[in-house]
């Protein structure tokens, strides 16, 4: 089993590191949010606004459950790895890697991000959500700092940790 799943809070760098890692490995990148958006024909922001958070959570579970195995880099939204069934499934089909990143850095990145995030709110609420979620993120198989180094450097660190070799180009 060589799939790698990146988990962690919004702004931890899952998408950027996921791209760098998939590129180095020559593996497909599967972004759960993007997959849901494609299937739904609307953005995550619109899904939350029009159908509510619980509908989105249900889609996360559904799409995760339909994932084929095999080599891939999987990146999941910050709330996906906070549900027992999802955590168990992700840890079964992949090596999960928590991109650990201080809330201050996540908030900085989020405030300069072009992506509209439905749960992005005031710093106190975000910090509470972050604290609440740490216990879930800690259940990832590996923990890597998401604020130390460029996405390419963090991808290299993950490859070393999991003993994965770069694709020969
Ligand atoms: C969410 C994180 C988002 C996205 C949705 C909900 C969350 O993904 O799935 O807005 O609950 O933390 P990112 O972590 O990629 O921002």
Name all residues whose Cβ lies below 6 A of ligand 1: 10, 14, 33, 44, 77-79, 117-119
Write the residue with the smallest CA distance to atom 16 of ligand 1.
10
For residue 110, the ligand 1 atom closest to its alpha carbon is 16
Q: Tell me what the pLDDT averaged over the chain comes to.
A: 95
Q: Give per-residue pLDDT as tens, 128-161.
A: 999 999 999 999 999 999 999 999 999 999 999 9
Task: Specify the residue with its C-alpha closest to ligand 1, atom 11.
Answer: 79
- Span from the CA of 117 to the centroid of ligand 1 (angstroms): 7
Contacts of 85 (CB under 8 A, 6+ apart): 61
pLDDT at 64: 94
Q: What is the pLDDT of residue 2?
A: 83
Q: How far, in Å, from the CA of 169 to the mean position of ligand 1?
A: 33
Q: What is the DSSP letter of 140?
A: S
Has this prediction a pTM greater than 0.85? Answer: yes
DSSP letter string, 104-123: HHHHHHHHT-SS--TT---H
Residue 1 pLDDT level (bands cut at 50, 70, 90): low
Protein residue whose Cα sits closest to atom 10 of ligand 1: 117
pLDDT at residue 68 in the model: 75
For residues 43 and 37, the answer to whether their CB atoms sit within 8 Å is: yes
Work out the average pLDDT over 112-118.
Answer: 89
- Please state the rounded mean pLDDT for residues 58-86: 94
Identify the DSSP state of 99. Answer: E
Distance CA(163)–CA(22), nearest Å, equals: 15
Query: Considering the chain, what percentage of its residues have pLDDT values greater than 90?
Result: 90
pLDDT one-digit tens code per residue, 37-69: 999 999 999 999 999 999 999 999 999 999 877
């Amino acid at each position: 089993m060589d799939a790698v799943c990146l988990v962690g809070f919004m702004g931890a760098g899952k998408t950027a590191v996921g791209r760098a890692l998939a590129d180095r490995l020559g593996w497909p990148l599967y972004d759960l949010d993007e997959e849901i958006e494609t299937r739904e024909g609307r953005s995550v922001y619109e899904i939350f606004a029009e159908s509510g958070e619980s509908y989105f959570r249900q889609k996360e579970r559904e799409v995760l459950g339909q994932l084929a195995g095999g080599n891939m880099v999987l990146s999941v939204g910050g709330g996906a790895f906070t549900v027992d069934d999802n955590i168990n499934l992700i840890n079964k089909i992949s090596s999960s890697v928590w991109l650990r990143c201080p809330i201050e850095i996540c908030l900085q990145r989020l405030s300069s991000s072009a992506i509209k995030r439905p749960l992005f709110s005031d710093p106190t609420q975000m910090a509470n959500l972050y604290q609440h979620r740490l216990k879930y993120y800690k259940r990832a198989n590996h923990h890597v700092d998401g604020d130390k180094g460029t996405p390419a450097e963090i991808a290299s660190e993950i490859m070393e940790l999991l003993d994965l070799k770069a694709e020969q180009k």
